């Protein structure tokens, strides 16, 4: 019986932690990190502030977890569209750029929070990890392109990092103004990506 009680206790703890993290993510999605104080999250999760701190030792720990969850969701989408499935490297990278831009613009508050909003060092560390994640997805496509002969040999790490940096910089303004989908902006950034990747010229 004691073992069953322990299982139930653990299940309640997990459920409470999930409810708090979900409430925090919803708060950030609506108002950014600036709106997401611990009291606001506790109210949204319908728990006491002390309960939040029992599951997350600090506000920084809570929002680092929130960032990780949101980041993984976005990375998974870009990974899906950039994986090899018979398409060329340029097409795969363009699909990744389009997915990145469309998802950021579809949720401009969360998009800005992920890309540029001032945050605690713990969250900034997760932001850097996210950027490296995007970079690595583009690196995989670029290296495949070089190996297949589609692209000229190049420093794929640097090109991929520059591509991610350019996308973030281009989106900061629109996201800060909470602009939603802009077909012209997405098309421009996709074209930028395609133009940046030099096709191999065969004699």
- Residues 159-199 have pLDDT tens digits of 999 999 999 999 999 999 987 768 999 999 999 999 999 88
CA–CA separation, 30 and 25 (whole Å): 9
The pTM assigned to this predicted structure is 0.89
- Residues 49-96 have pLDDT tens digits of 999 999 999 999 999 999 999 999 999 999 999 997 889 999 999 999
Q: Which two tokens stand for residue 107?
A: 């949720």
Where do the domains of the chain lie, and which CATH numbers do they carry? 1-56 (1.10.10), 65-203 (1.10.357.10)
Q: What CA–CA distances, in Å, run from 60 to 81, 135, 139, 198?
A: 32, 25, 31, 42
Are 151 and 199 a contacting pair, CB within 8 Å? yes
């Amino acid at each position: 019986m004691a073992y069953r009680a322990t299982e139930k206790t653990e299940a309640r703890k997990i459920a409470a932690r999930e409810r708090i993290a979900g409430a925090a993510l919803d708060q950030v999605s609506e108002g950014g990190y600036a709106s997401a104080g611990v009291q606001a999250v506790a109210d949204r999760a319908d728990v006491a502030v002390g309960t939040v701190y029992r599951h997350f030792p600090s506000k920084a720990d809570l929002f680092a977890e929130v960032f990780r969850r949101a980041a993984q969701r976005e990375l998974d989408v870009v990974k899906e569209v950039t994986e090899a499935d018979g398409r060329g490297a340029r097409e795969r990278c363009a699909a990744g750029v389009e997915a990145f831009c469309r998802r950021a613009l579809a949720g401009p508050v969360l998009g800005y929070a992920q890309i540029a909003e001032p945050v605690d060092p713990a969250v900034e560390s997760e932001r850097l990890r996210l950027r490296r994640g995007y970079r690595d997805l583009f690196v995989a496509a670029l290296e495949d392109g070089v190996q297949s002969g589609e692209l000229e040999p190049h420093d794929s790490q640097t090109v991929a990092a520059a591509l991610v940096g350019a996308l973030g910089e281009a989106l900061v303004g629109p996201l800060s103004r909470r602009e939603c989908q802009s077909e012209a902006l997405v098309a421009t950034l996709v074209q930028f990506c395609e133009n940046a990747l030099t096709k191999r010229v065969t004699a």
